[in-house]
Amino acid sequence: MIMQPTSGDDFTSRMLDAVNHMMLDMMAAIARKDYEQRRQHQA
């Protein structure tokens, strides 16, 4: 995980889990866009 809760709070744990998943989705989308742009420039 990117961030881990410092307390045993279930709410904090769930929120950080959601944020981590959103960040991974964003990185995947950016990587896909970059990949497609690079392929277009090579063609």
- Note whether 30 and 37 are within 8 A (CB): no
For residue 1, pLDDT over 60 is answered with no
Q: What is the pLDDT of residue 24?
A: 98
Please tell me the distance from the alpha carbon of residue 7 to that of residue 31, in angstroms, as a whole number: 33
Q: What does the pLDDT average to over 4-26?
A: 87
Query: pTM (2 decimals)?
Result: 0.67
- The encoded tokens of residue 11 equal 């709410």
- Residue 43 confidence (pLDDT): 79
pLDDT of residue 5 exceeding 60: no
Contact 23, 2 (CB under 8 A): yes
